[in-house]
Amino acid sequence: MKNRLMCHLIANYPDFNKSFEIAEALARGGADSIEVQFPFSDPSADGPYILKACDIALKNGFTVDKGFDLVRRIVNITKLDVFIMSYANIPYTRGLESFVKESASIGIRGLIIPDLTLNNDEGLIELGEKYTIPIIPVITLTTPQERIDAILSIQPEYVYAVLRKGITGESTEITNENITFLKNLSQEGVKVLGGFGINSREQVNSLAPYLFTSVAGTVFVKEIEKETGDMINRIEVLTASLVTDQSTTTSKGGDFSSSINICR
């Protein structure tokens, strides 16, 4: 049995060709979808590993045109669902409508722009409706219920659930509070993408009953940074290890009183 996994990669990291090869390795390893981050110089929610990867991608010549070219190739070759993640500065500079329109034209499955939020989205949600592309709001453990209700009232196809406070790459403790948070969201009829802190098969197994898909990111950046062996093969093997379900480690509604430390 196989669990669902969305793999996060940074466009143009470590360079354009390698980032495409990484996407192919993720697909071969069993990823169901890929989240392609357009690198930005000040990624406010990202930790040191992704920050460093973004810096390298920018120094190696990332442009928005290259980002769209990469995503187009990934969509066409892997046939996976591909999502674009970007901070608002990039689509705003490009022209928000142009960015959404081009995203839709290359066949992506959704847009995640965490700093364009409901009621402060500069028309992003309407543009998503216009070009038939899901806009994916972000919900955290500390989001007030009134705010969650407002987000759910627009009937998004997906929501991105942040599993803890802080930035990516740090240790995360999954407890009954986190599981209740995910369970409540999943019962609303929305597809829940859960990220920030996933780096092992056991964690994916444990979260699978409450998510449409788990999202893993920093674990791949760390693998890319290693200087030993065949990096592309290691990415494929790592992906396969994360998606493979082991019934002995899967908990469907079990006791989560023992916390799980995870790190995205």
Kindly list the catalytic residues. Answer: 35, 46
Residues 6+ apart with CB under 8 A from 232: 21, 22, 24, 25
Count other C-beta atoms under 10 Å from residue 1's C-beta: 10
C-alpha–C-alpha distance, residues 87 and 198, integer Å: 22
C-alpha–C-alpha distance, residues 162 and 139, integer Å: 6
CB-based contact 117:137 (threshold 8 Å): yes
CB-based contact 170:263 (threshold 8 Å): yes
Burial of 65 (0-12, 13-18, 19+ CB in 10 A): exposed
DSSP structure class, residue 208 = G
